DNA sequence: TTTT
DNA sequence: TTTT
């Protein structure tokens, strides 16, 4: 079991790319605030990279914008890679398989969108093919 | 482990009451929409009763109103009681110990509220005393 | 958003039935303990009804037994029905779309099971047809 | 909102340390398997670093061992630091505030342990003091 | 008894 | 590199 639920704001507009296999991947960072502000201090936040695949990727790319408050459900993924000195590095991101508007005005969209594909979110363990590597 | 995360809208203004022990309890119902709308159909929803205790109860009572979109984290609780024919009945509710605005405009409040008590949410298994029965 | 994560023990062997549409449905109750025991007291528990559909239903029926510790991920569903006096009654259950062994010995099974269908859990909002009513 | 729920096995015995402020911190890595095995392939896993504070830290250090299956609830935390070339690096971990045995035999312990302190898990935003930096 |  |  590997479940993550986040609510936060996009730090930038999302980026949409395609794998060599022509599968859509959308990426953005969520600023997730921690608790309430302390007297005289700014609220702290965690900046968490999110990756979304396929139909959901296109949905995010179309409707999400910088500053928008959204909620996502997904799983934590830890990828390892070698830096240019040949040292092993680790990248952690949240692979989201459900995305929501957490914003009054925008959440009306969900009432209008009727793409049946969107009603069946890709499951948490997306069946990536050998060549469906992340394009970044 | 017993964890529930919901996002939905209040079907009415919340109700604030006090136990005989003078502990605040706030209750409301969340309408949680299911997936996306089918062509020509209305979106379906689950109507889920929420209970919040103590400081958080007063917070909800103060800031939450009918129609507002909010998110809650809590646990499922099943209470049994006897109806007037002496038959055992079951009531299921979500006891929330974290509450959030899922609404752009209202979520500004979190940046301004500085009650340190609110920064330490009551934990999921609230140490209710013998006489801290639900007042409803 | 409507997300539930539970870990607990089956109070009985699960029951497997089929809808008129021949879709498998498995149901059981999870006893989910609350926190730790108080001195001299028994641990309290919530008894939460679980419903599982399709392939996952058959999986549960095959491998789950009374007393086994398992974990489930799903959503809360509130169904209304009329009792024999014509009064509206409400039933709350958790519709699980991911199920796990939370038990050392049994969790080995997951290493051996290779049904690709099981790797793609039905999503949270199962597309029930008009006649896929719960058979109970 | 920042919620993580994981179930997996410890890759090593946990490590217990103390901050300069004498607060206990326990750290370990969870191997969380992804879905089911593919034909002829090994199951893949994510290796996720976990941090636990205070009473819970001492609990984990006492009862958790390499290979044990456990479940945790917490939040994702992203820390930044400067490497020895002065480059900004990011470390992601899960700060757990609830820990459970997901293992038949060990979960009996929870029935016996009666430390009231353990019944009140530290909340997700632990009020770390200025000098309660992670000791690693 | 239900929200947008 | 960060959001309100």
Note whether D76 contacts A78, CB cutoff 8 Å.
no
Domain for residue C66, yes or no?
Answer: yes
pLDDT of residue B4: 98
pLDDT of residue D121: 37
Averaged pLDDT in 10-residue chunks for chain D of 136 residues: 97 95 94 76 89 94 95 95 85 95 73 50 40 64
Which residues from A are below 8 Å from B111, CB to CB?
Answer: 37, 43
Which residues from A are below 8 Å from B39, CB to CB?
Answer: 114
Structure confidence at residue B21 as a pLDDT band (50, 70, 90): confident
The tens digit of pLDDT for each residue in D6-22 reads 999 999 999 999 998 89
Distance, in Å, from the CA atom of A38 to the CA atom of D132, rounded to the nearest integer, reads 17
> What is the spatial distance, in angstroms and rounded to an integer, between the CA atom of C95 and the C1' atom of F1?
42
Averaged pLDDT in 10-residue chunks for chain C of 136 residues: 97 95 94 76 89 95 95 95 85 96 73 50 41 64
Q: Which residue has the higher pLDDT, A42 or B57?
A: B57
Domain for residue A100, yes or no?
Answer: yes
Distance of residue C97 Cα from the nearest chain A Cα, in angstroms: 10
pLDDT of residue C122: 37
Note whether C102 contacts D71, CB cutoff 8 Å.
yes
**CB A66 within 7 Å, strand F:** yes
pLDDT of residue B103: 81
Name which of B102, B103, B108, B115 to mutate to probe chain A: the one with the most chain A Cβ atoms within 10 A of its Cβ: B102
pLDDT of residue A124: 35
Q: Domain range for residue B94?
A: 4-104
Q: Are strands B45-53 and B88-101 parallel, antiparallel or unpaired?
A: parallel
Distance, in Å, from the CA atom of D136 to the CA atom of D126, rounded to the nearest integer, reads 18
pLDDT of residue C76: 97
Q: Which of A84-88, B2-6, B74-78, C77-81 has the lowest mean pLDDT?
A: A84-88
Interface of C with A (CB under 8 A): 1, 3, 5, 71, 73, 98, 100, 119-121, 123-125, 127
Domain for residue C118, yes or no?
Answer: no
- Please name the chains neighbouring B, where neighbouring means 3+ C-beta pairs under 8 angstroms: A, C, D
Other residues' Cβ atoms within 10 Å of the Cβ of residue C85 = 7
Could you report how far apart the first and last alpha carbons of chain B are, in Å?
A: 26
Average pLDDT over residues A109-115: 60
Is it the case that residue A40 has pLDDT exceeding 80? no
**CB A47 within 7 Å, strand F:** yes
pLDDT of residue A122: 36
pLDDT of residue A89: 87
Average pLDDT over residues B54-63: 94
Share the mean pLDDT of chain A: 82
Which residues from B are below 8 Å from D71, CB to CB?
Answer: 1
Domain for residue B12, yes or no?
Answer: yes
Domains identified in chain A, total number:
1
Domain for residue C111, yes or no?
Answer: no
**Domain harbouring B64, CATH code:** 2.40.50.140
Domain for residue D54, yes or no?
Answer: yes
Shortest CA to C1' contact from B108: nucleotide: F4
pLDDT of residue C42: 74
Other residues' Cβ atoms within 10 Å of the Cβ of residue B113 = 14
pLDDT of residue B126: 40
Count residue pairs from A and B with Cβ separation < 8 A.
66
Average pLDDT over residues B114-127: 41
What's chain A look like in SS3?
CEEEEEEEEECCCCEEEECCCCCEEEEEEEEEECCCCCCCCCCCEEEEEEEEEHHHHHHHHHHCCCCCEEEEEEEEEEEEEECCCCCEEEEEEEEEEEEEECCCCHHHHHHHCCCHHHHCCCCCCCCCCCCCCCCC
- Please name the chains neighbouring D, where neighbouring means 3+ C-beta pairs under 8 angstroms: A, B, C
pLDDT of residue A82: 85
In the three-class reduction of DSSP (H, G, I as helix; E, B as strand; rest coil), residue B67 is classed as coil
Distance, in Å, from the CA atom of A12 to the CA atom of A5, rounded to the nearest integer, reads 20
Structure confidence at residue B112 as a pLDDT band (50, 70, 90): low
pLDDT of residue B88: 87
> What is the spatial distance, in angstroms and rounded to an integer, between the CA atom of C83 and the C1' atom of F1?
61
Domain for residue B127, yes or no?
Answer: no
pLDDT of residue A10: 97
Is it the case that residue A123 has pLDDT exceeding 50? no
């Amino acid at each position: 079991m590997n479940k993550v639920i986040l609510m936060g704001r996009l730090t930038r507009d999302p980026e949409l790319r395609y794998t060599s296999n022509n599968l859509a991947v959308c990426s953005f960072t969520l600023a997730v605030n921690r608790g309430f502000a302390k007297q005289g201090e700014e609220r702290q936040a965690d900046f968490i990279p999110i990756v979304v695949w396929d139909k959901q990727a296109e949905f995010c790319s179309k409707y999400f914008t910088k500053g928008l408050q959204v909620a996502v459900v997904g799983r934590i993924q830890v990828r390892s890679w070698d830096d240019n000195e040949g040292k092993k590095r680790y990248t952690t991101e949240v692979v989201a398989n459900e995305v929501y508007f957490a914003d009054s005005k925008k959440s009306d969209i969900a009432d209008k969108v009727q793409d049946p594909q969107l009603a069946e979110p890709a499951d948490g363990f997306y069946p990536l093919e050998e060549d469906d590597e992340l394009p970044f």
